[in-house]
Amino acid sequence: MSHGKLRVESFSLSIDGFGAGPSQSLENPLGLGGMELHKWFFPTNTFQKMVFGKEGGTGIDDDIAAKGFENIGAHVMGRNMFGPVRGAWPDDSWKGWWGDNPPYHTPVFVLTHHAREPLEMEGGTTFYFVTGGIHEALERARDAAGTRDIRLSGGVSAIRQYLEAGLVDEMHLAISPTLLGSGENLFHGIDLSALGYRCTEHVPTQAATHVVIGRA
């Protein structure tokens, strides 16, 4: 059976290449200044319906955001994106940033060095904690997704690992007109051209420049 693509979708990036600010914490889940990167996304109908159950704005930003959820059968994310807890899990009380009904509605495979039992949430989301590395997580996600695609949700470290291994098929970046100065840099030390990637599409809007990077 053929499997779907590994896709990065709606990943917000500063002009200077940072996908998150420094000092991630419970109060600053995207690091200091990181919320600024997502100002293009917050007003969209896609975000407003997903988080608040109400109508939002339409247009190019919303069209692109909605496209990122199409044909997704599983998600992969890094542990830092799942939450601010570091080291061994002290208990099972932390269940993500998203409340009882996370916006994934598929199996989600979380990269971690510390084992934990699967966490079943409302709305079809189950978090599985994978200790065997990026290849094991991708294999399990492919098994769960079948012929549908897998969305690599982030954060920066997880995307960098999959990029360096040449496993990302397509990446949509929303480049925000923001300078962060420090934090987690997505492309530092990575030669995308040498890895076989090229820009296949770019669309400017008032709030971001949307760039798609795919196989050359």
- The predicted pLDDT at position 215 comes to 87
Q: Which long-range contacts (CB under 8 A, 24 or more apart) does 190-193 make?
A: 190/160, 190/163, 190/164, 192/163
- The predicted pLDDT at position 26 comes to 80
Alpha carbons 33 and 183: distance in angstroms, whole number: 9
Q: What is the pLDDT of residues 85-101, one digit of tens each?
A: 889 999 989 999 899 99
Domain boundaries, the chain: 6-86+100-215
Q: What is the mean pLDDT of residues 65-69?
A: 96
Q: Which residue has the higher pLDDT, 49 or 216?
A: 49
Q: What is the mean pLDDT of residues 96-117?
A: 95
Q: Is the pLDDT of residue 1 over 80?
A: no
Q: Is the pLDDT of residue 139 over 90?
A: yes
* 205-60-68 Cα angle (round to 5): 115
Alpha helices (H) in the chain, listed in sequence order: 45-52, 60-67, 79-82, 134-145, 156-164
Confidence tier at 152 by pLDDT (50, 70, 90): very high
Instruction: Find tokens 């291994």 and name the residue.
Output: 165
- The predicted pLDDT at position 29 comes to 84
- The predicted pLDDT at position 4 comes to 93
Q: Which residue has the higher pLDDT, 51 or 186?
A: 186
What is the pTM for the complete model shown? 0.94
Q: What is the pLDDT of residues 18-43, one digit of tens each?
A: 999 888 888 888 888 899 999 999 99
Are 3 and 73 in contact, with CB atoms under 8 Å apart? Answer: no
Fold held by 6-86+100-215: Dihydrofolate Reductase, subunit A (3.40.430)
* 46-52-58 Cα angle (round to 5): 30
- The predicted pLDDT at position 28 comes to 84
Closest Cα to residue 13, out of 188, 134, 192?
A: 188
- The predicted pLDDT at position 2 comes to 73
Q: What is the pLDDT of residues 115-137, one digit of tens each?
A: 999 999 999 999 999 999 999 99
In the chain, what percentage of residues exceed pLDDT 70?
99
Q: In this structure, which amino acid lies at residue 51?
A: V
Q: What is the pLDDT of residues 170-215, one digit of tens each?
A: 999 999 999 999 999 999 999 999 999 999 999 999 999 999 999 8
- The predicted pLDDT at position 130 comes to 98
